Chains A and B, each alone.
Chain A
């Protein structure tokens, strides 16, 4: 299996850590950050094969983070993973180039299959 580089952006620290651990068990390389600004800083310095982005971040709202990510790297695949998403958020995010808009709680297998899809597309 190919080594994925994932960035998990979520202010729920325990959730983010736990998800990172599970993904790492599935052979992914995960980084975790808890704020929008931190995420943007990391994306500036390296490429990720997938960014999992929460909307309700303490500093910058998720859609804004998404816009800025796309400014840095327009091709970076971003999946919005939120527990609070509204239809408006969903439309906006998909317009701004998010790959998918997913609701918490999320089955890990679903996430893995999305990862596989992204991989297929990039090949």
Chain B
């Protein structure tokens, strides 16, 4: 699914100095994997996430998504790729607050070429168990429900890859558990999921944990045994 080869990303800070956010990162994620990328803030995990999500381009290196090289893609082709292949889930949900849950979920469909979008939003809401909340505004939903709306939005176009940036960061334990359960179900159904988090307990849900530090991947444990993976990550 994902092949990163020697990816580096260098930023220029507003002050002028250059910052190496990622240094020679190589990473392969196969179809159907459930991966956690852990690291402290400033470790480069968000930059990695943005590059994986085609929101940002690397300074150096090659990124193949589903077997096709992404570096030559035009901005429009990247947008199309985000629309069709990638679903995003954010820590702060990023819902449109004056808009119903259903309209939020249908947002990606506005930018797709599908001839008919009828019923797709509702179906995605039902997948996250919020079929009866379609007309509610985000302010009328709990944090966990809001994040589930955001997951439904990420799913609505049927992407292969789900990228979640601290998806439980703003949620209480119970809601976080609900959200992780949804990710598990989706993973079991065959979706590739990458979660960026600094919460090791959340990372413990995943089948593989990659630890990033100072812009480099310092540990990468692919194991069915979560405990071993956790300890390795620590």
Q: Do the two chains belong together in a single complex? A: no
* Residues on A facing B (Cβ under 8 Å): none
